[in-house]
Structure 1
């Protein structure tokens, strides 16, 4: 058998990830088998197992690939050169929804994680990993709200940590409703205004 080059092996791995995303989305994670993924990818079952030890490992790979795109969201939260930190939060939230809207792959991945995966049995530990970005987002928001308070942009009497939890809850709820709606529906068109309104409630008069 001819040994594959590194580039060919990487291409096969990518094809398997793409196939897994398609099958996870169509069938749900619990009803997906690696054999089914192999058929859709056009490779042997052995090829799938050569790249991924099990379905959970393949799920991780699919998820991590899509989450890289969201690094653009952190650019705003970590930026020290934006005078008003509340502007950074608003821009980061708007960017998140813009990415989801413009990237079918990222949208499909989030739909799988939110709506088509049961985090039980072999996937119970996966839930901890899935929640890590949310916890990281929470920590960054707390830091940005703290900076806003220190710079005098935050409405008096508001607590940075409480605001961070509130924004995480707001974003998660809005995102779940966004996923449940269809392109062009009113909810999706209202997202920018809803984000701006959420941040406006925190701004100093």
Structure 2
């Protein structure tokens, strides 16, 4: 038996992840089997088990491949050494929205998360991870906002928790709607305005001031 090189092993793993993206996108999580993914790239189910423990593990790896680099970029506004955290947050937010339009991989994966994954209690492990991701995202936004407050870019009495929850809900709702009906509004044309309106709100809304 000829052993595969690390490069060949990684290439096979990425082939399987590419196939998973397409099949989960087409059929949804619940209706996809490991055999469906294997057949898509003309491999055996055993090839999948060489790289992934089960369907949950495959799904998580598919999501992590897209989200881990995004998480690292989203963390930059919270860096205490960043001199302009609000600018970093603005740039990342605009880029994130526009990537939904131009990056097919990101669009597929987020469509799967929003519209092809059934939250019904049957996959508790994945649902718990998604809940933790929601909390982590809100915490990361708040840390970026706190950094902007400390740098004098936002009001000292900004309720950063409330502002973070609003930002998360604002962007998640827009993405949910656009991914469901891309033709319903021009996300690219609106991206900068969407982000700038949020920044204007957190700078000026009395609703977001600590009492």
Note the C-alpha offset of 1:161: 1.4
Where do 5+ consecutive residues of structure 1 fail to align? none
User: How has the CA–CA distance of structure 1 residues 4 and 144 changed in structure 2, closer, same or farther, with 3 Å as cutoff?
Assistant: closer
Where do 5+ consecutive residues of structure 2 fail to align? 206-211
Give the alignment of 1:175-194 within 5 angstroms.
175-182=175-182, 185-194=185-194
TM-score (norm 2): 0.84
For these two proteins, the number of residue pairs brought into alignment is 204
Note the C-alpha offset of 1:201: 1.6
Counterpart for residue 208 of structure 2 = none
Counterpart for residue 81 of structure 2 = 80
Note the C-alpha offset of 1:68: 2.9
The one-character-per-residue Cα deviations of 1:11-47 (angstroms, maximum 9, x if unpaired) are 2111111111111001111111111111101111111
C-alpha contact 1:25 1:116 (8 A) present in aligned 2: yes
Note the C-alpha offset of 1:74: 2.5
Note the C-alpha offset of 1:48: 1.3
User: How has the CA–CA distance of structure 1 residues 72 and 151 changed in structure 2, closer, same or farther, with 3 Å as cutoff?
Assistant: closer
Note the C-alpha offset of 1:8: 1.9
The one-character-per-residue Cα deviations of 1:151-181 (angstroms, maximum 9, x if unpaired) are 4432475311111111111111111122123
Counterpart for residue 3 of structure 1 = 3
Give the alignment of 1:36-185 within 5 angstroms.
36-70=36-70, 71-78=72-79, 80-83=81-84, 85-120=85-120, 123-155=123-155, 157-182=157-182, 185=185
Q: In 1, Cα distance between the equivalents of 2:147 and 2:68? A: 26
